[in-house]
Amino acid sequence: MRLFQNNGLSRGFRAHRPRADDRSFAGCLNSFLDTRYTASHILQPVLAGNADAFYTNGDDETLQGLWARANGMAGRDLEQILLAQIEHHRTEVFYNLDPMRYGSAFVRKLPACVKKTICWRAAPSGSADLSGYDLVVCNFPSILEDWRIKGCKVAHFFPGHDPAMDGYVAARRQDIDLLFVGGFSRHHRSRVAALIAAASVPGIRARFHLEDSRLTRLANLLPFLPPLREFRHPAEIRRVRAGPLYGRDLYAAMASARIVFNGAVDMAGEDRGNMRCFEAVGCGAVLLTDAGRYPEGFADGETMVTYASADQISRLVERLIADADWANAIAKAGYAMVRDRYSKERQWARFRELCD
C-alpha cells in the first residue's frame, strides 16, 4: 500500500516548535516527527520510515516550500504543492488529518492513482462538506453519526500509543501532584468549572499548561477593560498557570505528575476519549477525568478515575495522593491497557481493514 498521510499544525505548536537545523524537506520533516507532536495519530509505517509511506503537514509553508523548490515548482500555493506530492508519490491511499482545509473539493482534484480517501474529523464542523471522502473516521460515535446523517460513510478509528512514551515512563518521577495540559476558552464552560475546582484543592503541587484562545490571551493582557474581564483566567487558575506544551515536552511533564487531569469540551455529548486520555495513561500517570462513554479499556476505578461533578474533584485528588497503592495500581493498569489495546500495530491493522 502506498500511503500518504497529511496533517495540520495548531496555532500553538507553530509558535513553540523548534527550528530544524537541516533546511531540506527530509531534514525538516524528520525534525518535526522527532517532536512527536500528534504522534498518537501518525500511522506506524510513517514512524517506521517505510519507503511506501509519505507524510507531510500540508499547511506548513516552510516545509512545503522546501519540497516545492527541491522538485522544481516555482509557485507557493499549498494546495498545488500537496497535489504534486501525491502524484509524485503515486499515492494509493490518502489519509488526511486536516479535512477542514482539504475537504471534498480537494478530493475531486486528486490524481487517478489514488484509490482510497480517508479523513479523521473528531469535532462538529458546521456546514463543512466531507462527503467526497470514502470514509470519515474518529473515535466518537455521536460525531460519526452526525457525519453519517450529512451523507458521509463513516467508521470507527482510534489514536495509537506512541512507543516513544515508554522511555518517559521508565524515567518517571512525581514532582507534580496534579497536571493539566490543554485548551482554555470561554466556550469550554464545563472544563473551566472543573479546572477551577482542581486548582482549588489545598496543599497540592498543581500546574496547568494552557493553550489560550485569542480572546483569553487578550483579556489576560488587558484585564482593566470591562468587556474583557469575564474572559480572563480566574484567580484560582492564574496561580498555577504555565505555558502550553507539545510532543516530547508534554510527555516529560506527564511523566513527572502523579495525576493528569482532563475535562472534555462541549462537543461530543456524553462521548469521551480525547487524545489527552491516551497520552496521560500512556505516560504512566493516573488519569482523573469526567464521567461519560469512554473507549474500550478505559474503566473507572480500574484504568482511570472519573468524577461526575466538579464538587467531587477535591475529594478524589486528595484520595489519590493519600492512597499511593491505589493510585499506582490504576496508573499501571492504564499504561498496560493502552500499550496493548491501542498499540501502533493494532492501529495500523485497523487502518488496513478500513482500506479493504
CATH of domain 3-157: 3.40.50
The whole-angstrom separation of Cα 76 and Cα 68 is: 8
Tell me the pairing of strands 305-307 and 286-290: parallel
- Predicted TM-score (pTM) of the model is 0.93
Sequence-distant (6+) residues with CB within 8 A of 96 are 5, 6, 102, 117, 118, 119, 120, 133
CATH architecture of residue range(s) 165-341: 3-Layer(aba) Sandwich (3.40)
Give pLDDT tens digits along the chain (356 positions).
999 999 999 988 998 888 877 789 999 999 999 999 999 999 999 999 999 999 999 999 999 999 999 999 988 899 999 999 999 999 999 999 999 999 999 999 999 999 999 999 998 788 899 999 999 999 999 999 999 999 999 999 999 999 999 999 999 999 999 999 987 766 567 788 899 999 999 999 999 999 876 656 665 566 656 666 666 677 898 899 999 999 999 999 999 999 999 987 666 578 999 999 999 999 999 999 999 999 999 999 999 999 999 999 999 999 999 999 999 999 999 999 999 999 999 999 999 999 99
320 near 279, Cβ under 8 Å? no
Identical fold, 3-157 and 165-341: yes
The whole-angstrom separation of Cα 56 and Cα 1 is: 17
Q: What percent of the chain is helix, strand and coil (3-state, nearest 5)?
A: 45, 15, 40
Domain spans of the chain?
Answer: 3-157, 165-341
Beta bridge partners of 5: 55, 95
What does the pLDDT look like over 171-201, one tens digit per residue?
999 999 999 998 776 656 778 889 999 999 9
What does the pLDDT look like over 225-269, one tens digit per residue?
666 666 667 789 889 999 999 999 999 999 999 999 998 766 657
Angle at 60 between CA 99 and CA 122, to 5 degrees: 25
